[in-house]
């Protein structure tokens, strides 16, 4: 485990990337400057907080992975780590040992997708079930899928996915290579939540004949939950909990059971949303950003029938990964959200107050952060994005010894 050469301070990045979404998670590679988002009572553009003076944590570079995307801790403190090309690792931080997990389905690795999320079933200790998301291809194009399987571990530090079954698919498939979303979360009742981005196609986010641009809520076997808001429509609509989303790359439940999700805006207007049953979040009809060709999109406050974001960011942070912290190692951060930043190369702390939130701190990580996870001991773990250079560090954040003096 290699310590970084410096302590990262609780300083805010003052020279942010111009108002543009991250090139690996946007609709185009050439992004114009955009005006700041309009503020209203229901939505506040995140301001840059004043820099804190004390150091907050130390960063240890633990191990490198090839284009890592997500991770999840097992009960024995080992990690499952996904790599976009299709490898699922079993990693032991105590020994730095990496073992392969076989049985991963065929994965299409494209610019913004491949092997994606990995999450344990809430009753994993008794049923050994894990859920993975990935990009699959058929004659009609590409789309995200979610599968569940039994994780069978061996004595050699590896294992296999057995009895794998695909339980959900994006529909319809598209020709493009971006905006899959495919984050997975479970709530306290054991319901399965999946973020399904709009695949750079805009209009499907408002089309109830597709599950693109939606957050879906399912039983753990992939069937639509009975009390979803659109139960009398066809099978696709029956999955839907909310609609009007763009590219959702993080979901987390707070201590009161509220679901929060962030999504990348177009040119400007990254969002943090409180997810409410049956609500329409407006994309592409409204946004606090504009189209990449410079065409304006009306702001949320022009269409009050759509649910406005709680926070918007212009300049963008390019959010990826998300936890709401409930550990003991950083007691001052109990209940705070932590969002990784790609183009902003940051870790953003969000302070919640019931159904409101605001950016509280922004830590300059000096690298693109793809994933955020909380460890069993309360440490915060990050995955550095490797979609550009190919390799990304697994990082462990622990309290700074300076603060203890």
How far apart (Å, rounded) are the C-alpha atoms in residues 333 and 65?
A: 28
In this predicted structure, what is the pLDDT of residue 25?
55
- 333-387 residue pLDDT tens: 999 999 999 999 999 999 999 999 999 999 999 999 999 999 999 999 999 998 7
CA–chain centroid gap for 69, Å, is: 10
pLDDT average, residue stretch 224-253: 93
3-state SS assignment for residue 87: coil
pLDDT at 49 over 70: no
CB burial of residue 53 (10 Å; 0-12, 13-18, 19+) = exposed
- 157-171 residue pLDDT tens: 999 999 999 999 999
The per-residue pLDDT of the chain, averaged, comes to 88
Torsion sign, CA atoms 252, 69, 27, 242: negative
DSSP 17: P
- 197-229 residue pLDDT tens: 999 999 999 999 999 999 999 999 999 999 999
Of residues 301, 309, 311, the one with CA closest to residue 337 = 311
- 9-38 residue pLDDT tens: 334 333 333 333 444 454 332 222 222 333
Any idea which fold 2-404 has? Answer: Neuraminidase (2.120.10)
Residue 40, token pair as written in the block: 């209203």
Delimit the domains of the chain by residue range.
2-404
pTM of the model: 0.89
β-bridge partners, 55 = 9
What does DSSP say about strands 88-92 and 129-138: parallel, antiparallel, or unpaired? unpaired
In this predicted structure, what is the pLDDT of residue 27?
34
Catalytic status, residue 300: no
**Do the beta carbons of residue 193 and residue 215 sit within 8 Å?**
yes
Catalytic residue among 89, 121, 179, 300: 179
How far apart (Å, rounded) are the C-alpha atoms in residues 96 and 228?
A: 43
In this predicted structure, what is the pLDDT of residue 235?
80
CB atoms within 10 A of CB 372: 25
How far apart (Å, rounded) are the C-alpha atoms in residues 243 and 275?
A: 10
pLDDT average, residue stretch 38-47: 40
């Amino acid at each position: 485990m290699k310590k970084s050469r410096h302590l990262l301070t609780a300083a805010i990045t003052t020279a942010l990337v111009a108002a543009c979404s991250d090139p690996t998670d946007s609709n185009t590679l050439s992004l114009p400057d955009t005006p700041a988002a309009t503020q209203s009572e229901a939505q506040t553009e995140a301001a840059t907080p004043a820099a804190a003076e004390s150091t907050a944590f130390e960063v240890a570079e633990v191990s490198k992975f090839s284009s890592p995307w997500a991770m999840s801790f097992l009960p024995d403190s080992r990690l499952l780590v996904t790599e976009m090309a299709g490898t699922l690792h079993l990693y032991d931080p105590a020994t730095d040992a990496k073992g392969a997990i076989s049985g991963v389905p065929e994965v299409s690795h494209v610019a913004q997708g491949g092997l994606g999320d990995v999450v344990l079933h809430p009753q994993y200790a008794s049923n050994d079930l894990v859920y993975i998301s990935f990009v699959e291809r058929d004659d009609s194009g590409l789309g995200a899928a979610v599968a569940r399987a039994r994780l069978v571990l061996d004595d050699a530090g590896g294992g296999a996915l057995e009895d794998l079954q695909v339980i959900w698919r994006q529909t319809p498939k598209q020709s493009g290579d971006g905006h899959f979303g495919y984050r997975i979360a479970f709530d306290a009742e054991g319901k399965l939540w999946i973020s399904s981005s709009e695949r750079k196609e805009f209009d499907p986010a408002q089309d109830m004949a597709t599950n693109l641009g939606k957050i879906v809520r399912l039983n753990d076997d992939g069937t639509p939950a009975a009390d979803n808001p659109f139960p009398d429509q066809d099978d696709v609509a029956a999955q839907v909990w909310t609609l009007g989303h763009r590219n959702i790359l993080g979901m987390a439940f707070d201590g009161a059971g509220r679901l929060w999700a962030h999504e990348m805006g177009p040119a400007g207007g990254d969002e943090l949303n409180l997810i409410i049953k049956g609500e329409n979040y407006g994309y592409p009809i409204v946004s606090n950003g504009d189209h990449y060709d410079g065409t304006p999109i009306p702001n949320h406050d022009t269409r009050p029938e759509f649910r406005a974001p709680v926070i918007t960011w212009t300049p963008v942070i390019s959010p990826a990964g998300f936890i709401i912290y409930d550990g003991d190692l950083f007691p001052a951060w109990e209940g705070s959200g932590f969002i990784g930043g790609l183009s902003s190369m940051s870790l953003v702390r969000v302070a919640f107050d019931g159904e409101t939130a605001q950016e509280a701190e922004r830590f300059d990580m000096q690298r693109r952060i793809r994933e955020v996870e909380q460890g069993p001991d309360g440490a915060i773990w990050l995955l550095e994005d490797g979609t550009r250079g190919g390799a990304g560090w697994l990082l462990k954040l622990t309290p700074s010894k300076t603060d203890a003096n």
